[in-house]
Structure 1
């Protein structure tokens, strides 16, 4: 069992990179679809109220939650590879926490545009930190 755990930990950075990349693609595609549908509805002179727009835990919501969980597992096990006090670990956890807050805030109705940008930035940061972790912390 220990050998299986060691092998899993060995690849958590790759899992984290893949999860963050999939999250970016998912967010960019769904944002594009929402912007496109909003543009079409406004160009057709339809009124669409964005004030009470709240996300629900539908299929897309479950994808969001699964990306948060996968990223959290990847960060947890990836940070086991470096010393507990390393700046790398602190940055990875801080990025993950900000990413999680950004992702979950839309389910309470708080979704300003800058928060989406921050979420994208945290996904890119996590990808970069996982790459750095592969280079510096794999034993």
Structure 2
């Protein structure tokens, strides 16, 4: 867990990108599994169904830590906004509340990964002074 805190932007960007890959690849995997399954049994492993929630939890931890340690207030707002939007899209798809486009999930995931990379490159705090300036 300490590694996630020390490298929160790296883990956040990776988790966001893996979330994007998961969202894009899932329909194709289901089609392939259905094609090769016998007797018409629906095959969708539990771990694969819940991978998006696991990645969302990792992203939450990364966003929380990165937002606390960024030197730019707009990055803090952007990280939280992207994470909230991404979580809304993922939870909506999980519970099938509304018919929303997958593009929202893709865009918010890419944006979250992008802001993590931006924060990693340009907004690192090396002292405790950042915490008092941006809160």
* TM interval, short-chain normalised: 0.7 to 0.9
CA drift at 1:60 = 2.4
Tell me the residue number matched to 1:82. 70
Unaligned 5+ segments in structure 2 are 36-43, 127-135
Whether 1:107 aligns to 2:94 is yes
Tell me the residue number matched to 1:128. 114
Aligned length in residues:
115
Q: How does 1:3-42 map to 2 (within 5 A)?
A: 8-34=4-30, 36=31
Unaligned 5+ segments in structure 1 are 41-55
CA drift at 1:122 = 0.5
Tell me the residue number matched to 1:44. none
CA drift at 1:107 = 2.3
CA drift at 1:20 = 0.9
CA drift at 1:80 = 1.4
CA drift at 1:75 = 0.3
Aligned with 1:29: secondary structure? helix
Whole-Å Cα distance in 2 between the matches of residues 65 and 111 of structure 1?
Answer: 18
